[in-house]
Amino acid sequence: MRKLFFTIIALLTLAVMPAMAAEKSFSGNVVADEGAWCWFADPRAIEFVSKDGTMQRTFIGYIDRHGSVKATQVDRVAGTTEEVMVRSWFQPDDHNNPAFLVLPDERIMIIYSRHTDEPCFYYRISKKSGDITMLGEEKVLKTSFNTTYPNPYILSDDPNHIYMCWRGTNWHPTVARMTMPDKDDNIRFDWGPHQMVQSSGARPYAKYISNGKDKIYVAYTTGHPDNEYPNWLYCNVFDINTRQLSDMKGNILSTVGVPQVRRTEEYLKAHPYAVVDHPSDSRDWIWNMAFDGKGNPVIGMTHISKDKHAHSYYYAKWTGAGWQKTFIADGGGHFHQSPETENCYSGGMAIDRNDPSVVYCSVPVNGVYEILKYKMSDDAKQVISSEAVTHDSKKNNARPYVVQGGSLYWMNGDYYFWIVNTRYPLGYPTSIMSAEPLPKQKKAPKGQKSFTHDFNYDEASFGGSLFTWQGITVSVNKESLRLSITIDGKTYESQNKFATADSWATDDRATTDGKWYRPVVPQHAKLTITRQGNVITLLRDGVIDLRIIHE
């Protein structure tokens, strides 16, 4: 059946090739020249529409290989696109992409953490509703175990708290409840953190999705597919009111406690509705979750062969009676340029939460990974159509992500490793791409004036005033390495160091080790100051580093 499917797809592809050959290649529209993400911290991009309908914006988060956590703000009403520095000089690791949360007052919280290196999260909250171009100070939320992959939620049954899931306690799925920000934007845990499950594997990998009301669904593996063969996939439901974990039939597995999850026939027999897939000959991994039209979860997952060279994409749907699994596409093998490591890294897949019958997959086509769009039948038992999103690409397209209520995004470019180090000094030199063009401002807004200063590093004279323009002085503090703006005797300091994490490519470093490495001041940078009325913006190489309103 699979051979027949691929034969039909091949014939359809040949039929459209002459038409596609007449077009130039398409690898997407550039969102960010430098950026990457892993697929476990979410939402990595969101659509925002203000309650009064005056604002419609998209926020897209990522981290570049220089250790800069960044975000792009797309204003659909004003027709502008701006890139923002959320945090510079961070661990240069693609696991550290930020997640977004819209707070009740419509301000935007951006939360991120280092990859297993610290027992804490970092977050910044926008000063204005729906506008991340002006962020408050960076805050730290301490935990008991090292953290990775934040997934924050606000649920209608408890609208005065934030629930968050992540990989934390004992490297396992973890849940906690947090207070809303106080007047100083401080947040604290007021319940938890609690480990959700205890697997027989060392590192279960989890994806989460909320019904927006009272439940968070968590689907997770026995462990990392590199270490587990076979690797099973499970799905449980966490109820915020009872604080219980149940299987898909509502059978209670635990109350705040830690249910033991096993990859055994005995466990499968005892908890058949807690297990999504229990292969005997493959390594399962999970990519994302969505809800179908009836509110039942669907899961995008991969089967990876024992030797890790063959990856297949599957669509798992909860029918109410059990999990129905449907083959979607052959994903090839690992998508990146380093065959000696991470051979379980598929190109990636994403179920469209706006239309869960649509699945985007990164598949090999003529030696390059392209994004294809697959359409499932109404009963999700077969693929009924496929079409190319990207084609004739020069570089790989991977890790697609569909914004709920919005567009499709993905990574494009070479990829060597998930962290920048001496063995892989290039790390992940990828770009973030969009299926549709982003608005670009063709000229400066009326009344805006600007000045650009070419900064060239000179260690002997580094520090102090860099330049003055129209009564505005831009300086850098030699000790803190922070840029600042001084106007009318008042100084506004950036939250970011004027530095990169590029020393981690040259200093001896393996992977995650809990250390902070020396900041590197860039040898060259373009510093631009703009002023429009009382709004003053300092940009570093076109990225907003500091925006203030000077009264």
Distance CA 275, CA 492 (A): 54
pLDDT band at 7 (very low <50, low <70, confident <90, very high): very low
Same domain, 414 and 358: yes
Residue 13 lies in a domain: no
In this predicted structure, the answer to whether residue 4 has a pLDDT above a threshold of 60 is no
Residue 285: strand, helix, or coil:
strand
* Boundary residue ending a domain (377, 403, 434): 434
Residue 303 token pair: 């089967």
Same domain, 164 and 117: yes
pLDDT band at 68 (very low <50, low <70, confident <90, very high): very high
- pLDDT tens digits, residue range 441-452? 777 888 899 999
- pLDDT tens digits, residue range 482-536? 999 999 999 999 999 999 999 998 898 779 999 999 999 999 999 999 999 999 9
* Cα 131 to Cα 56, 72, 81, 174, distances in angstroms: 10, 11, 12, 30
Q: Up-side HSE of residue 510: CA atoms within 13 Å toward CB?
A: 4
Residue 154 lies in a domain: yes
Residue 348 lies in a domain: yes
In this predicted structure, the answer to whether residue 10 has a pLDDT above a threshold of 70 is no
User: For residue 47, what is the domain's CATH number?
Assistant: 2.130.10
Same domain, 462 and 359: no
Same domain, 388 and 472: no
Same domain, 468 and 520: yes
299, 361 in Cβ contact below 8 A?
Answer: no
Per the prediction, the chain carries an average pLDDT of 95
Same domain, 429 and 455: no
Residue 478 lies in a domain: yes
Same domain, 461 and 491: yes
Residue 392 lies in a domain: yes
Q: Count each helix (H run) and each strand (E run) in the chain, helices first.
A: 2, 41
Residue 8 lies in a domain: no
pLDDT band at 11 (very low <50, low <70, confident <90, very high): very low
Q: Please tell me the predicted confidence (pLDDT) of residue 23.
A: 63
In this predicted structure, the answer to whether residue 257 has a pLDDT above a threshold of 70 is yes
- Domain holding 322, by residue range, is 24-434
Same domain, 364 and 490: no
Same domain, 329 and 454: no
Same domain, 457 and 320: no
Same domain, 251 and 277: yes
Residue 248 lies in a domain: yes
Residue 284 lies in a domain: yes
pLDDT band at 20 (very low <50, low <70, confident <90, very high): very low
Domain count within the chain: 2
DSSP letters along 481-536, please? -EEEEEETTEEEEEEEES-BSGGGGTS---S--SPPPPPB--SEEEEEEEEETTEE
pLDDT band at 82 (very low <50, low <70, confident <90, very high): very high
* Boundary residue ending a domain (385, 407, 434): 434
Distance CA 402, CA 410 (A): 9
Same domain, 418 and 473: no
- pLDDT tens digits, residue range 362-378? 999 999 999 999 999 99
* Boundary residue ending a domain (434, 463, 494): 434
